[in-house]
Structure formats: C-alpha cells, structure tokens
Structure 1
Amino acid sequence: MQLDLNLLAALDALLEEGSVAGAAARLHVTAPAMSRSLGRIRRTTGDQILVRTGRTMTPTPYAIAVREQVHDLLQQVQGVLAPSRELDLTTLERTFTLRWHDSLVALSGPALLAAVRGQAPGVRLRFIAESSIDTPELRRGEVDLEANANRPTAPDIRAENVGESRLVIAVRQGHPLTRVKAVTAERYAAAEHITISRRGNLSNALDDALARLALTRTVVATAPTEAAALEFARHSDLLITAPEATTRSAVADRGLVLLPLPLELPAAPMYLSWHQRYDTDHAHTWLRELARTALTISGAS
C-alpha cells in the first residue's frame, strides 16, 4: 500500500480540530476536500475516526489512542523534509500574540519586551486581554503564548508550570484587619470581599476552604482584573485575596497592605501554555525561554 503523507497531515488536523470544517481551515483546503480525505482515512484505517454526536463530532477510541502518535509522526516527517536552520535573531521579523493575565503583563511584560528588543529588534509583541470565556485562539494559532493560573485540559495544548505564589490578603491602610494581633479565619470570613474573576464568579476555592471550617464569607462584588480589584480595596474596607507575587509590587503605590491568609491552601500555580504545533518552532522556543526568564526575574514565579 502506497503511503500518502497528505493523509497524515489531514488526520492530525482532524484529530486536533474535531471537525471537518476546522481541519479544512487549518490546512487551507475546502471542506469537501477535507471530507474526501476523511473518507480515505476511514477506508485505510477501517475506523470511523470521527463520529457525529448531535451537533459535534467525537473521536473514536482508536482515534484517541493514536492522536499523539500521529502528531509525533507528522513532526518527524516535517523535520526530515524541512531541516531546521539556525535562528538568526538579528534578522527575525515576526509578531507574537500573548494572552497573559493582566497582573503578569504589568509585572513581567516590560522585562520580556526589553529582552526581545535587545536580541531581535524586528520582533513585535501583542499583549491581549484574557477573554471571559474559553476561546480557541491558542488552537487556531491566533495566540502564541498564554500565561495564567489555569492549566489547559486540551490534549493538543502544551503547558509548563513555571512557578507558584502563595495567596495573601490585600487591604487599605487603616483597614480593621490591620489593627488586630492576628487575622484569624473567623475575622477573614467576617470581612467583606471582592473577588477577581474574568467570568464574574462570586465564589471560588476559598469558599470551599471556609466551608470546611463551617464558615462563609460575604462577596459584595467581582472585578475582571486584579488592578481593578485593588482600586476597589483602596477606596473601601473590601479585601481581596490574590497571589503575593503579582500584588506585591502594586500594593505600595496604592497605599495597600498585605496580610497573611489564615487558611491552608496550596500556592497559586503559574502556567505557560502554547499549541503543540510550535514545539519545534525555533523562534517560538526562543520566546518561551525569554518568557520564563522574565517571569522569574520579576518575581512572578
């Protein structure tokens, strides 16, 4: 049987996108052409690969089992047919789009941009805001690198834990909690809170931890960004709970005070995430290394 490498690329795209239309858009072919490729793949493998379930298509057990192998094989083939060339940063011209948590942009963005400009003056960075819903831009290649506390679950998204930071309380100077000998869980729960949530969630893991102590707190508002929440805390008796690394540099400018969190909770993680298509991309690998360094130097990780 003669092997058609185009089918390998089509199968990889179908398994990543989970739809004929999405795979066609990725490979810049028409939907009918991709549908024909799916038919050929089905005949070759003797498996349906994708089956329709309502309005979506679900991969078969066989498709799930071979997904990683298919992608690795395609990467190997591409490496053979397009040998890697040494990256020349002085002539590199490329625009990278980064979707980072707002506090990370403020804390680590300047160091990253300075490093990029120093090594590759032809490279531009686009920092964009996080969306209030899960969006597929990372999979579609519209976002190159994400940095936040959420580990992605999609199998085609790579994620690297680059650090963690303990949670602390931020309040205004003169807040009632600054005048007590110790911030207890009871005092923490009795205060009024503002949460940081791009989706507007009024509860999170803190409420679960309080519930285990038979305590509840009052959340009077949510803010979409940490900077906005800090401003609310600055002008009221609201308190926020956030990672120390991202709040530490902001509290002094706003006249805020950091207090220890009286709950046993794991430190907040920090993840860098990217699509697996960039695993062997030299320019993207270079950017990821600079991002790790910027996060470490600024204290975000």
Structure 2
Amino acid sequence: MLRPVEALDLAVLARTFTLRSSEGFAETFGPGLIARVGAEAPRVRLRFVQKLNKDSGPLREGAVDLETGIVSQEMGPEVRSQALFRDRFIGVVRAGHPLSKGRVTLSRYTSGRHISISRRGLEQGPIAEAMAPLGLQRDIVTVVGGFSTALALARSSDLIASVPERHTGGLRDGMHSFRLPFAAPEITVSLLWHPRLDADPAHRWLRRCVRDACADLLGGSPRSESRDSK
C-alpha cells in the first residue's frame, strides 16, 4: 500500500491472476476475456477456479484476485463490488423436447420433471420462491450443484433446467430455451475484489478487461468502476 505507483507496461507485465466464478461464467465470457488479455498483455496468465460458496475469505486472504457473483450478506463488509450485468432465469430443455414446441404455460411447465440447482443440496431456491405465491411447485427429480451439470442432464433427458440466461450462454448451445411462464427472478452479477487492490494498476486494468468482455458479448456499454462495497 505504501509503495509508489509505477507506470503499467502491459507488454512486459508477467503475472498470473486468479478469477473465482460460478459455472458458466468462464465458458461464456472466458474466450473474449482471454483474447483481450492476450492481445494487450501476452505474458499475463488467467487462472479460473470454481466458486463453491459465497465466503469472501479467498479474496481477503489473497488467494483470489477477482470474483464474479451476486452480492450477499455472506460477504465481508470490506469487499468492493461493481455490477457487470443483469440476468434472469429461463427454462432450458433438449432439442426436440415437448416444451420446445408451442407456448410454455404454467400447466405444461409444472407438469414436467425438473432439476434443482443448489450448491448446498437444497430443493428450495429462487424458482421455488417465485412460484410459491402462485401456490405452485415443481416435481424435483434431482438436485445438482451447478449449472453445467443441470444442463448436461437436461441435454440427454426430458428433464427441465431453470438457469440464468446470460450466465449460461456458453453452456446451452444446441438446446432450446424458453421464457418462464411466471415472473422470473432477476439477479445482478457483479465483479468483486478486496480494497487493498483498488490502486494496483495491473488489477485495475484487469477489472476493466472483465467489464469490457461482458459488455462486448452482451452488446452493452461498459460500466464505470464503482468503489462501493456491498
């Protein structure tokens, strides 16, 4: 924190950055981010690790440079955040599934067999919470820990997966997606980091690369950086 700020020379910057994210982010946004980083700083390496929980310990301890995810009360109060994009849940089935043809009604959706996604193995989640006021519930056949597992099962069966649309764009190729027949919950995916890295020139550059990679793929303009914590 006390060392003088040095001019950033991306051509000679040799550093490995660790990014912690949920399933789907690396597959969807990773190719564009890696291409951007490689073009500007060829000696920089990105290491993606899976986000198994919302504990901010890895950021605090320095094991992780950046995270993506939803800001929650489980994170430390010091964590910095910057919104990347809004996302919504959609239904996904295999090509040729009965729900891939015609309008998906509440009756058709609830009469199907579903996959629940929970890192903690719980059947309840944002979809169940959205359906509760309607007095409806899904027939949960299996509970899995991540989006890629849910989509792999749906791809090879008649099961229905309900996943975030933008977050899983790289995982749903060849599958049929549909809008949920009720008010689908929306989430904000944010970029998270520890404040000790605020002024680090290389880290600031990487944060900008992540924001731009998301904006480029989603067709939006990159957001300016925020210093707000959760």
Structure 2-normalised TM-score? 0.86
Structure 2 unaligned residues grouped into runs of 5+: 221-230
In the TM superposition, residue 290 of structure 1 has moved relative to its aligned partner by: 0.2
Matches within 5 A, 1:144-183: 144-151=65-72, 153-179=75-101, 181-183=102-104
Q: Residue deviations 1:1-51, cap 9 Å, x none? A: xxxxxxxxxxxxxxxxxxxxxxxxxxxxxxxxxxxxxxxxxxxxxxxxxxx
The reply on whether 1:92 has 2:92 as its aligned counterpart is: no
Match of 1:288 among 207, 212, 216: 207
* Maintained 8 Å contact 1:163/1:300: no
| Structure 1 counterpart of 2:129 | 208
Matches within 5 A, 1:268-283: 268-283=187-202
Following the alignment from structure 1 to structure 2, what is the Cα–Cα distance between the partners of residues 123 and 109?
A: 14
The reply on whether 1:260 has 2:161 as its aligned counterpart is: no
* Maintained 8 Å contact 1:165/1:300: no
Following the alignment from structure 1 to structure 2, what is the Cα–Cα distance between the partners of residues 86 and 278?
A: 16
Aligned amino acid, residue 289 of structure 1: R
Aligned amino acid, residue 187 of structure 2: A
Following the alignment from structure 1 to structure 2, what is the Cα–Cα distance between the partners of residues 173 and 282?
A: 46
Measured at CA, do residues 300 and 226 of structure 1 come closer, stay the same or move farther in structure 2, by a change above 3 Å? Answer: farther
Aligned amino acid, residue 121 of structure 1: P
In the TM superposition, residue 298 of structure 1 has moved relative to its aligned partner by: 2.3
Aligned amino acid, residue 162 of structure 1: L
In the TM superposition, residue 96 of structure 1 has moved relative to its aligned partner by: 0.7
User: Which secondary structure does the structure 1 equivalent of 2:93 belong to?
Assistant: strand
In the TM superposition, residue 234 of structure 1 has moved relative to its aligned partner by: 1.2
In the TM superposition, residue 249 of structure 1 has moved relative to its aligned partner by: 4.1
Which structure has the greater CA radius of gyration? 1
Aligned amino acid, residue 156 of structure 2: H
* Maintained 8 Å contact 2:118/2:125: no
The number of aligned residues is: 219
Following the alignment from structure 1 to structure 2, what is the Cα–Cα distance between the partners of residues 233 and 280?
A: 44
Which is richer in helix?
A: 1
Following the alignment from structure 2 to structure 1, what is the Cα–Cα distance between the partners of residues 56 and 173?
A: 34
Measured at CA, do residues 249 and 143 of structure 1 come closer, stay the same or move farther in structure 2, by a change above 3 Å? Answer: closer
Aligned amino acid, residue 82 of structure 2: E
Structure 1 unaligned residues grouped into runs of 5+: 1-74
* Maintained 8 Å contact 2:56/2:75: no
User: Which secondary structure does the structure 2 equivalent of 1:102 belong to?
Assistant: coil
Matches within 5 A, 1:74-93: 78=2, 82-93=3-14
**Runs ≥4 residues deviating over 4 A:** none
Measured at CA, do residues 208 and 116 of structure 1 come closer, stay the same or move farther in structure 2, by a change above 3 Å? Answer: same
CA root-mean-square deviation: 2.1
Matches within 5 A, 1:227-242: 227-242=148-163
Following the alignment from structure 1 to structure 2, what is the Cα–Cα distance between the partners of residues 248 and 107?
A: 6
Following the alignment from structure 1 to structure 2, what is the Cα–Cα distance between the partners of residues 217 and 166?
A: 18
Q: Residue deviations 1:203-248, cap 9 Å, x none? A: 1021112110011112111222222211100121111111222334
Measured at CA, do residues 237 and 109 of structure 1 come closer, stay the same or move farther in structure 2, by a change above 3 Å? Answer: same
| Structure 2 counterpart of 1:196 | 117
Q: Higher RCO, 1 or 2 (CA under 8 Å, sep at least 6)? A: 2
| Structure 1 counterpart of 2:217 | 298
Measured at CA, do residues 95 and 300 of structure 1 come closer, stay the same or move farther in structure 2, by a change above 3 Å? Answer: farther
Question: Sequence identity of aligned pairs in percent?
Answer: 38
Matches within 5 A, 1:106-145: 106-132=27-53, 134=55, 136-145=57-66
In the TM superposition, residue 188 of structure 1 has moved relative to its aligned partner by: 1.9
User: Which secondary structure does the structure 1 equivalent of 2:173 belong to?
Assistant: helix
